[in-house]
Amino acid sequence: MKPVNIGILGLGTVGKGAVDVLQNNAAEISRRLGRDVNVFMVSTRNAEKGCRICPPQTLITEDPFEVVQHPEVDIVVELFGGTDIAKKLVLTAIEHGKHVVTANKKLLAEYGNEIFALAEQKNVMVQFEAAVAGGIPIIKALREGLAANNIQSIAGIINGTSNFILTEMREKGSAFADVLKQAQALGYAEADPTFDIEGHDAGHKITIMSALAFGTPVNFDACYLEGISKLDSRDIKYAEELGYRIKLLGITRKSAKGIELRVHPTLIPESRLIANVNGVMNAVRVDADMVGETLYYGAGAGALPTASAVVADIIDISRLITADTGNRVPHLAFQPSQVKPQNMLPMDEISSSYYLRVEADDKPGVLGQIANLLAKEGVSIEALIQKGVIDKTIAEIVILTHSTVEKHIKAAIAAIEALESVARPVVMIRMESMHGRNG
């Protein structure tokens, strides 16, 4: 069969990684695919670098729009980044009948509906395995491997930077700011780390997975984002004493009331497999009605792991180019006519258990007052522990609640903070039990 021609936009870390994978494993890829993958054209701001990295026959250009319109290009690989020019490039490529592979989670979480709609219209495929959890084939699992299931919930450690920071904070008891500096020195965190540590990156990824799981349009605006920058290492320590790890999770869940979509630090029982995913590694846990709990673990970032997913998408598209379009795997897992908006639950309506830390005057009666305020809102207490006294007069009280609706815990917290004996804001971290059928 004739080689499939790809055009790559951008030769940054992942772009160079994709070229490396295609060259290093050319033989193995052809043995599987039955045809060669040819790096036909590449756009880069640095043509000299392009010539150094790419095979000799590759056309190098500084104009990415030349790539997306070139008649010989079968598949455009968008590794340009951002959402402004990248969006124009992807839409232009689709207009010109090109299939698209992208690792751009932000682009898809924010403009995916528009992109997929045009792709349906033009009968081309847009594949995005690399956009979520790097080299882990989680998009394939959600769209194909679990296709017989009603998916019920997804919870993922899907930001390596945050997971590295939380792992270090737990293992060394260090403060957030110190570990962040270390992560920046190691190249695990950007100079401006906001995108990673405030949950935006995880939010983009869980938004995409939520759409695939439940057959809804992508809806990043509905995603609640809470990062790890305000996390106190004391709470990591107290959680550990109670048998929990704190992880930044992206969570989406379907219930009778609607769909939950949220990113926040979360207590998980330490016996759960996902609680033991450390360092920069990623893992996604899926709960589905027939198969039960499955978990997918691997490198969530890095040039070669991400390129592994990009090239898997290239191989998939090469196989399906000649398939009749109605029989391809749909972009959002469900047939376009079946992708329907569903009620997105506001955070006040989600159900969760909670970890609370209250600093209160060390006086008789305060514990009782706090317990009463929780009871008044219908919040039942699993554990209430006085951790000790700080500054001689302030008692630290840690509370674990049973499951309740978030608006009730918020009302209780407001009431606790209004107590004369409570001077500082109450720390609140959500909990997930993650219990599978078989423990």
Q: Which of residues 38-67 bind a second copy (CB under 8 A)?
A: none
- The 37-43 sheet, strands edge to edge: 59-61, 37-43, 4-9, 75-78, 99-102, 126-127
171 forms part of the interface with a second copy (CB under 8 A)? no
1 forms part of the interface with a second copy (CB under 8 A)? yes
> 156 phi and psi, to 5 degrees?
-135, 140
> 219 phi and psi, to 5 degrees?
-150, 70
Q: Which two tokens stand for residue 29?
A: 């890829």
Residues 197 to 236 in contact with a second copy, rule: CB under 8 A: 215
DSSP conformational letter for 142 = I
Name the CA dihedral angle for 73, 77, 83, 87, rounded to a multiple of 10 degrees: 30
Classify residue 229 by burial, with Cβ atoms within 10 Å: 0-12, 13-18, 19+: middle
Distance CA 156, CA 132 (A): 10
Contact 7, 75 (CB under 8 A): yes
Pick from 140, 200, 262, 331: which binds a second copy (CB under 8 A)?
A: 140
Residues annotated in the binding site for L-homoserine, as ranges? 190
242 forms part of the interface with a second copy (CB under 8 A)? no
Pick from 148, 177, 185, 191: which binds a second copy (CB under 8 A)?
A: 148
Query: Which of residues 340 and 424 has its CB atom nearest to a second copy in the complex?
Result: 340
Contact 188, 133 (CB under 8 A): no
Query: Which of residues 147 and 389 has its CB atom nearest to a second copy in the complex?
Result: 147
Nearest distance in Å: CB 29, a second copy = 6
21 forms part of the interface with a second copy (CB under 8 A)? yes
Residues annotated in the binding site for NADP(+), as ranges? 9-16
- Stretches 28-36, 71-79, 242-250, 404-412: which one binds a second copy (CB under 8 A)? 28-36
Nearest distance in Å: CB 2, a second copy = 12
Contact 77, 83 (CB under 8 A): no
137 forms part of the interface with a second copy (CB under 8 A)? yes
Query: Which of residues 332 and 429 has its CB atom nearest to a second copy in the complex?
Result: 332
Pick from 41, 288, 366, 411: which binds a second copy (CB under 8 A)?
A: 288
Query: Per the residue annotation, which of 98, 106, 205, 254 is the catalytic one?
Result: 205
Nearest distance in Å: CB 262, a second copy = 24
Pick from 187, 290, 368, 418: which binds a second copy (CB under 8 A)?
A: 290
For residue 284, give every residue at least 6 positions away whose Cβ sits within 8 Å of its Cβ, in sequence order, or none.
Answer: 132, 133, 136, 138, 154, 155, 156, 157, 158, 209, 295, 296
33 forms part of the interface with a second copy (CB under 8 A)? yes
24 forms part of the interface with a second copy (CB under 8 A)? yes
Q: Which two tokens stand for residue 73?
A: 């290009």
- Stretches 43-51, 62-70, 129-137, 193-201: which one binds a second copy (CB under 8 A)? 129-137
Query: Which of residues 196 and 235 has its CB atom nearest to a second copy in the complex?
Result: 196
62: left (phi over 0), alpha (psi -120 to 50) or beta: alpha
365 forms part of the interface with a second copy (CB under 8 A)? no
Write the interaction track for a second copy spanning residues 291-330; mark x where CB under 8 A is met and - where it is not. Answer: xxxxxxxxx--x-xx-xxxxxx-xxx-xxxxxxx-xxxxx
Pick from 32, 52, 181, 376: which binds a second copy (CB under 8 A)?
A: 32
Q: In terms of Cα–Cα distance, which of 99, 108, 94 is closest to 139? A: 108
Nearest distance in Å: CB 426, a second copy = 34
DSSP line for 74-104: SEEEE---SSSHHHHHHHHHHHTT-EEEE--
Query: Which of residues 115 and 288 has its CB atom nearest to a second copy in the complex?
Result: 288
132 forms part of the interface with a second copy (CB under 8 A)? no
Query: Is residue 205 among the annotated active site residues?
Result: yes
Could you give the C-alpha distances from 60 to 66, 77, 261, 310, in angstroms and in order?
10, 14, 42, 20
Rg (CA), the chain: 24
DSSP conformational letter for 344 = B
Nearest distance in Å: CB 382, a second copy = 24
Query: Which of residues 185 and 290 has its CB atom nearest to a second copy in the complex?
Result: 290
Nearest distance in Å: CB 326, a second copy = 6
Residues 248 to 287 in contact with a second copy, rule: CB under 8 A: 273, 276-281
Nearest distance in Å: CB 42, a second copy = 18
Report how far apart the first and last C-alpha atoms of the chain are (Å, whole number).
Answer: 49
Nearest distance in Å: CB 399, a second copy = 29
Residues 330 to 359 in contact with a second copy, rule: CB under 8 A: 330, 333-335, 338
Q: Active-site positions?
A: 205
